[in-house]
Amino acid sequence: MKGLFWQGANRLVAASIIAAASFAVTAHAESVLRVAMTAADIPDWTGAPDQGYEGYRFAGYTMYDALALWDLSSSDKAADIVPGLAESWAVDPKDPLTWTFNLRKGVKFHDGCTWNADSAIWNLDRVKNSKALQYNARHAGMQGWAVGAVSSYEKVDDYTIKIHSTVPASMLPYSMAMLYMISNCKVTESGNNYGKFAEHPAGTGPYMFDKLVPHERLELVKNPNYWNPTRIPKNDRLVLLPMPEASTRAAALMAGQVDFVEAPSPDTIPALKGAGMQIITVPYPHNWDYLLRMNKGPFSDVRVRRAANMAINRQDVVDMLQGIATPAYNTLIESQPWYGNPVVYEYDTEKATALLKEAGCYPCKIKIGISTSGSGQMQPLPMNELVKEQLDEAGFETELVPMDWNALISVFFQGSGASDFDGINFSMAPIDASQGIVNKWMTTAAPPNCCNWGFYKNPEVDKLGLEAMAEFDPEKRNAILTKMNDTVMADAPELFIVHDLNPRALSPKLTGFVQAQSWFQDLTPIVVNP
Amino acid sequence: MWVYVFRRLLMTIPILLGVTIICFALVKLAPGDPVQNLVRPETSPEDIAKLQAHYGLDKPLVIQYFVWLWRVLNGDLGVSIANNAPVAREVLNAFSNTIVIALISVVIAFVLSMIFGIAAAYRPGSLLDKAITAVAVFGISVPTFWLGVVLVIIFAVDLNWLPATGMGSKGSDDFSYFRIEDLKFAIMPIIAFALPPFAIMTRTTRSSISEILNQDFVQTLRAKGLSEFHVICHAVRNMMPAGAAMLGLQLGYLIGGSVLVETVFTWPGTGFLINKAILTRDIPLLQGTILVLAAAFVLINLVVDLLQSLIDPRIKRI
C-alpha cells in the first residue's frame, strides 16, 4: 500500500517537474524571424556587404554600426542620418577641411572588445591605408568610396578623432553612415585573415552572428547588450535566406517557411493578400529610369530628351505593375528635402512628336541597353516593352538590347562614351544628396570617377555643386541643393518613368514593423507572435 | 580490361583541358567583370585596380589560365571571388547535394520507365501504349521549371503537405534522407528531376523492346514454348546495354545540375551554384564547378562502358 502511494507521489512530482519544465521552455521559446531576400546569394557578412543595398540592409546594419546611422523609425519622411557610433560631429569653424567626431562611450563589440578611437582609426586604415596589416582590397572596393574625399585622420583622445578632407566635404557624415566599424580585436586575433574572421565576425550592431550555411542561410541572434536600448531586437533570432525567384518567395511565405518577403512580384500580390498576408508599400528613394547619353547622339539635344519624357504615360506603367510604383518626374522622390519645385514634363504625345520634328530627329532612332533582372530593376522586360511602345508612338524608333545584369553594370561603369547605347535602363539609389544630386550631375562625377554616366554638363550646376559641398549649414546647403536639382531637372537629363514603392509581404504573425522611406530597414522592432 | 580503363582515364585529360579552355574563354568573352560586383559606382579607379590585382585579373588571359591550371595540378581550385570561400569546398558541398538527389531521381525514373516502356512495347498501338506514349511526350515537352512551380502551388501552397523550398530548417548542413521531415524537402525536386529522364527512357525502352520483340529469335523462343514472361526477360536482357548507356547519360545530365529546377526549389546543388557563378562572373567558382562536373560526366560514362561489357559479352574491352 505504502509502495503504491510512494509510486503515485513520485509520478505526481515527476509530472509536475515535466510540466514546469515544459512551461519554462514555452515561456522562453525563441522567436525566429525568417526573411526571404531577393539576393541570389548571402551578401558578404564581414562588414563590406555586396549585392547592392539589399546587402547593406540585411548583412550590414543588422550586425554593424557606422559613425552615423540612418533613422529608420518613421514611414512618413525620407530617412535622414542620426548619431551612431559617434555621439556628435562638427566641422572646424576655422578649417572647413577638418571634421571632429566625438565617439560614443560604453559600446562593446560582440566579442567583448571596447569601441574607442583606436578601433575607429583601425577601421579607417582597413579601407584607406593599403600598407596597414588589416587593409583588405575587397573591403576597400566596397566601402573605400565612403572615405574617397578623406586625406588623413588621427586620434585626438580615446573618444575623439579628427578626419581631414581634400576638398570641403559638407556631406561627409552621410558617407560615414556607409562605413561599418568591425571589431579590430577579432580581426587581429584572426591574424588579419578575413576568411577566419568570417567564421565568427563581430560588430557592434543589434544582431550578432550565430551561424552560416554557405549560399543557404545566415543566422543572427539578438544582441541583448546593444548600446541603444530602444533598438534591442524584439525577436531572438533573424534567419536570412537568399531566394532570387519571386514565385519561390511567395510560395515560401504562403507555405509558412518564411515570415517576411522582399519584393513580391505584382502578379503574386492578390494571392498573397487573399492568403491573409500583409502587403506593405512605402515610397523610398528609388528611381526606375533611363540614363541618357548627352555627349553625342539624339539625346544631346535637350528637345529630344524633353520629347522622350513627354512620350511616357506613367500611369499605364503603374497600372501594369498593379500599383506598386508611383509616376516619376524626377530623380528624387517628393518627400526628400531637395525636391523643390522642378519642371515636370507631363504626358503629351503630340507635343513630344512636335518637339522631335523641331529637333530634326523624326523618326528618332535610339538604342537602349536593358537588363533581364537585377537589384532595383523591378520587372525590366515587360516594363521596357511598354516604354518602347509609348516612345515609338511619339516618333522614336527604339531598339531594346537586353543583357544580363552584370553586363549592364559593366556598360554603366564604362560610361556612355564606351558603348553605342543612347541610354540604359539603370536604377539607382538617390539616398542622399551626394548620391542623388552632386555625384550624379557634376562634370567631375563623369566616368570613371562616378555616376554621371551620360556626361551631363552644365556650368551652373557645377558651381552650385561646389557651393553645396562647401556649405556646412544644413538648411543653407539644402537650399543650394534644391536649386541645383531644379536646374538639372529643367534639362531633362534622364527619362523618368516610375519610383518603386518597395512592396514587402509579411506573415500575419508579425507586428511592429515600420517600413522606412529608405533602402535600409530596421528589423529590430518586429515581434513574431505565436 | 585494365589497359582499357587506363586508356580511357588518360583520354579524360585532354577532354577536361578542352572543357576548361572553352569555359574560360566563354566567360571572358561575355561582357561584365567579376570585380564590378565587389565595388560601388563611387569606388575610385585605384581601388578597383588594386582589387583586380588582388585576384590576378590584371594579367593577360592566357597567363590567368595557366596560373589557374598550375594551381589545379597542385590540388588547389582557388577561392571564390564572390565570397572568398575555397572553391573546392563550395563545389563539393553543392555536388553532394546534387548527386544524391540525381541518383534517386534517375533510379526511380529508370525503374518506372522499364515498367511503362515494356508495357507499351508489348502491345504496340493498344490503348495502354497510346496512354503511356502520351505521358512520355508530356514529360519531354513540359518545361521542368514550370512543373516545379505547379508542384509548389499544389503541394506546398494549396495542400500544405510539402515545404516549398530549401533543404530543411537548418539547411543542407544538417540534412538527412533518412529523416522524414528532411525527406519532405526532397520530394518535389525529385519529381521535377525525374520527369524528363523518365520520359526519355520510357520512349527508348518502348522502341528498343518492340524492335527486339519483332526479331526472329523471339519467334524461335515462342515456338519453343517459352512463357511470355520469359520471352520478355530475354528481350529485356538484349536491351540492357542500350539501357545502361542511356541511364549513364541521363545521370550525367542530372549531375550537370538542372539549373532551372534547383533555382525554383532553391536546392543548393551544382546547377544552383553554376547559375550563380555565371551571373556574378565568378570565374574561379565556375571553372572549379565545371571541372568537377566534366570529370564526373567522364567517369560515369566510363563506368557505363565497363558495365556494358559485363552485361553483354559481345562487347569486349581490350
- pLDDT tens string A336-352: 999 999 999 999 999 99
The residue-averaged pLDDT of A354-359 equals 96
Of the pLDDT bands very low, low, confident and very high (cuts 50, 70, 90), residue A373 is confident
Cβ neighbourhood burial of B159 (10 Å; 0-12, 13-18, 19+) = exposed
State residue A432's pLDDT score. Answer: 92
Q: Where are the alpha helices (DSSP H) in chain B?
A: 2-29, 45-54, 61-73, 87-122, 127-141, 144-151, 180-213, 216-223, 228-255, 259-264, 270-279, 283-311
What is the rounded distance in angstroms from the CA atom of residue B82 to the CA atom of residue A37? 17
The residue-averaged pLDDT of A139-157 equals 92
Report the range of poorest mean pLDDT among A232-246, A285-299, B34-48: B34-48
Identify the bridge partners of residue A399 per DSSP, sorted by sequence position.
A367
Percentage, residues of chain A above pLDDT 70 = 95
State residue B265's pLDDT score. Answer: 86
Instruction: Compute the count of residue pairs across chains A and B with CB atoms less than 8 Å apart.
Output: 159
Report the range of poorest mean pLDDT among A11-20, A247-256, B167-176: A11-20
Q: pLDDT tens across A43-88, in order?
A: 999 999 988 889 999 999 999 999 999 999 999 988 999 999 999 9
pLDDT value at A6 more than 70: no
The residue-averaged pLDDT of A31-47 equals 92
- B176 or A525, greater pLDDT: A525
B85 alpha carbon, distance to own chain's centre? 24
Determine the residue of chain B that is closest to A250 in CA distance.
Answer: B157
- The ipTM of this complex is 0.78
State residue A22's pLDDT score. Answer: 45
- DSSP character at residue A428: B
The residue-averaged pLDDT of B254-281 equals 84
Of the pLDDT bands very low, low, confident and very high (cuts 50, 70, 90), residue A28 is low
State residue A26's pLDDT score. Answer: 46
Q: Is B172 within 8 Å of chain A by CB?
A: yes
Spatial CB neighbours of A415, under 8 Å, sequence gap ≥ 6: A446, A447, A448, A453, A455
pLDDT value at A433 more than 60: yes
State residue A286's pLDDT score. Answer: 93
B305 and B317 in contact (C-beta within 8 Å)? yes
Give the number of other CB atoms < 10 A from CB of residue A149. 19
Asked whether the beta carbons of residue B164 and residue A213 sit closer than 8 angstroms, the reply is no
Grid-cell match 539616398, residue found = A431
Of the pLDDT bands very low, low, confident and very high (cuts 50, 70, 90), residue A14 is very low
The residue-averaged pLDDT of A194-220 equals 93
State residue A358's pLDDT score. Answer: 96
pLDDT value at B316 more than 50: yes
Q: pLDDT tens across A273-322, in order?
A: 999 999 999 999 999 999 999 999 999 999 999 999 999 999 999 999 99
Q: Which amino acid is at A234?
A: K
A contacts of B265 (beta carbons < 8 Å): 248
State residue B145's pLDDT score. Answer: 84
Of the pLDDT bands very low, low, confident and very high (cuts 50, 70, 90), residue A328 is very high
pLDDT value at B296 more than 90: no
Report the range of poorest mean pLDDT among A133-137, A356-360, B136-140, B155-159: B155-159
The residue-averaged pLDDT of B120-128 equals 87
What's the CA angle centered on A355, arms A443 and A389, to 5 degrees? Answer: 90
Say what angle helices B2-29 and B283-311 make with each other, to 10 degrees.
150
Of the pLDDT bands very low, low, confident and very high (cuts 50, 70, 90), residue B13 is confident
Asked whether the beta carbons of residue A138 and residue B38 sit closer than 8 angstroms, the reply is yes
Percentage, residues of chain B above pLDDT 70 = 98
Q: Strand A32-37 vs strand A260-262: parallel, antiparallel, or unpaired?
A: parallel
Of the pLDDT bands very low, low, confident and very high (cuts 50, 70, 90), residue A134 is very high
Q: Which amino acid is at A200?
A: H
Please provide the DSSP assignment of A1-24 as one string.
Answer: -HHHHHHHHHHHHHHHHHHHHHHH
Of the pLDDT bands very low, low, confident and very high (cuts 50, 70, 90), residue A13 is very low
A212 and A239 in contact (C-beta within 8 Å)? no
State residue A232's pLDDT score. Answer: 97
B contacts of A142 (beta carbons < 8 Å): 38-40, 43
Mean pLDDT for chain B? 86
Select from A176, A212, A245 the residue whose CB has the most chain B CBs within 10 Å, as the one to mutate to test that interface: A245
Q: Which of residues 238-297 of A touch B (CB under 8 A)?
A: 241-245, 247-248, 251-252, 254-257, 275
Three-class SS string for A470-481?
Answer: CCCCHHHHHHHH
Of the pLDDT bands very low, low, confident and very high (cuts 50, 70, 90), residue A16 is very low
Asked whether the beta carbons of residue A247 and residue B48 sit closer than 8 angstroms, the reply is no
Q: What is the CA radius of gyration of chain A?
A: 26
State residue A420's pLDDT score. Answer: 92
B31 alpha carbon, distance to own chain's centre? 28
Q: Is B56 within 8 Å of chain A by CB?
A: no
pLDDT value at A410 more than 50: yes
Select from B28, B38, B80 the residue whose CB has the most chain A CBs within 10 Å, as the one to mutate to test that interface: B38
Q: Is A413 within 8 Å of chain B by CB?
A: yes
Mean pLDDT for chain A? 91
Give the number of other CB atoms < 10 A from CB of residue B13. 10
State residue A50's pLDDT score. Answer: 86
State residue B266's pLDDT score. Answer: 83
User: Which of A145, A244, A405 shows the shortest C-beta gap to B44?
Assistant: A145
The residue-averaged pLDDT of A486-501 equals 95
What is the rounded distance in angstroms from the CA atom of residue A147 to the CA atom of residue A165? 9
State residue A378's pLDDT score. Answer: 87
Nearest CA to CA, how far is B58 from chain A (Å)? Answer: 14
Of the pLDDT bands very low, low, confident and very high (cuts 50, 70, 90), residue A407 is confident
Asked whether the beta carbons of residue A138 and residue B54 sit closer than 8 angstroms, the reply is yes
Can you tell me whether residue B50 is helix, strand or coil? helix
pLDDT value at A20 more than 60: no
Can you tell me whether residue A334 is helix, strand or coil? coil
Nearest to A403 by CA among A411, A414, A395, A413: A411
Q: Which of residues 38-77 of A touch B (CB under 8 A)?
A: 40-42, 44, 50-51
Q: Is A412 within 8 Å of chain B by CB?
A: yes
State residue A492's pLDDT score. Answer: 95
Nearest CA to CA, how far is B273 from chain A (Å)? Answer: 9
Identify the bridge partners of residue A150 per DSSP, sorted by sequence position.
A165
pLDDT value at B112 more than 60: yes
Q: Cell for A454?
A: 551620360
